[in-house]
């Protein structure tokens, strides 16, 4: 048996420099797609928030007190 550690047990950390491997044109396209994705995410979150606000008030409440409030109003 060999006394050296197996290569599968050795921890190797690779420093990935994603930005260094891109050309200027690729960087611009990547930034444009990332900006579009961010805008879509913000629009989706805003839509979901409006939907939740609109439908949260229409949820039926249970209990005697809520039933009396609905009866009075």
Using an 8 Å Cβ cutoff, are 19 and 27 in contact?
A: yes
Confidence of residue 9 (pLDDT cuts 50, 70, 90): low
Q: What is the pTM of this model?
A: 0.49
> pLDDT digits over 23-42, tens only?
999 999 999 999 999 999 99
Q: Pull the structure tokens for residue 14.
A: 């690779």
Using an 8 Å Cβ cutoff, are 31 and 39 in contact?
A: no
Burial 28-60, CB ≥16 within 10 A → b, else e: eeeeeeeeeeeeeeeeeeeeeeeeeeeeeeeee
Helix (H) or strand (E) holding 45: helix 24-56
């Amino acid at each position: 048996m060999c006394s050296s550690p197996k290569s599968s047990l050795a921890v190797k950390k690779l420093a990935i420099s994603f930005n260094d491997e891109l050309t200027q044109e690729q960087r611009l396209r990547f930034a444009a797609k990332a900006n579009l994705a961010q805008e879509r995410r913000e629009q989706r979150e805003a839509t979901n928030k409006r939907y939740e606000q609109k439908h949260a008030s229409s949820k039926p409440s249970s209990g005697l007190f809520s039933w009396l409030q609905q009866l009075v109003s």
